[in-house]
Amino acid sequence: MLVLVSLPLLASCDEKSKNPVSEYGDAMIDAYKKGQAVKETADLDAIRKTIQVYYAENGKYPASLDEIANLIGKPLDTAKYDYNPQTGKVSLKK
């Protein structure tokens, strides 16, 4: 009977106890990564909308993203994006 009672205790000894500091650190890293992904999506959306406005005003797409950088209102790292000036399509580089 004592063996039956102690078996669950022995099985739980194999489980590693979780370090609260490590869990907190992992949660912070995950939150940061999610925040970065949201920022990238929002930035890409802003660039696409700015390209549409540029097209509506000029009847053509900008020759490069540098042409619309000042219209976005914040610094634009054009190296992060693939842009096709013939179609106006822009995407994040992979």
pLDDT in tens, 9-24: 555 555 566 888 888 8
Q: Print the domain residue range for 68.
A: 44-94
pTM: 0.70
Per the listing, tokens 């869990």 go with 23
SS3 82: strand
Q: What is the pLDDT of residue 75?
A: 87
Domain count, the chain: 1
Q: What is the pLDDT of residue 94?
A: 82
Q: Looking at the domain assignment, is residue 20 inside a domain?
A: no
Q: Looking at the domain assignment, is residue 5 inside a domain?
A: no
User: Can you read off the two tokens belonging to residue 72?
Assistant: 């976005």
Task: Classify residue 44 by burial, with Cβ atoms within 10 Å: 0-12, 13-18, 19+.
Answer: middle
Whether 67 has a pLDDT exceeding 70, the answer reads: yes
Question: What are the pLDDT digits (tens) for 48-62?
Answer: 999 999 999 999 999
Question: What are the pLDDT digits (tens) for 81-93?
Answer: 999 999 999 999 9
